[in-house]
Amino acid sequence: MATYSNAELRDTISVYFDWLEADKRGDKILKTAKYRQLIEKYNGVRSKGSYESKMQNISAVVVTLGLPHVKGLKPRGHGGATVRAMVTGMAKERGLI
């Protein structure tokens, strides 16, 4: 599987943080629809399962930052250095840490 571009990774993390905020508000999250949007935007390079797995890696990183993870996306793996750096930076941009 191809490595995520910075733009694709940033979009994926942005969706994750949108879901995290929706979770805090108690809003319903339509994950499958958003996965489809990412798949279409990036020309079907990845499957729904691939994005879901990346979201679980993001969950693992946000938990290390002291944040809750999105319901239904249990932390898995470590995410790698690029994911950790981008998640941390975007969490700071959003005022979450």
pLDDT, tens digit only, all 97 positions of the chain:
689 999 999 999 999 999 999 999 999 999 999 999 999 999 999 999 999 999 999 999 999 999 999 999 999 987 899 999 999 999 999 999 9
Please give the pLDDT value at position 77.
86
Please give the pLDDT value at position 1.
64
At 25, which helix (H) or strand (E)? Answer: helix 6-25
Model pTM?
Answer: 0.95
CB within 8 Å of 48: residues ≥ 6 apart: 32, 35, 36, 39
Which amino acid belongs to residue 85? A
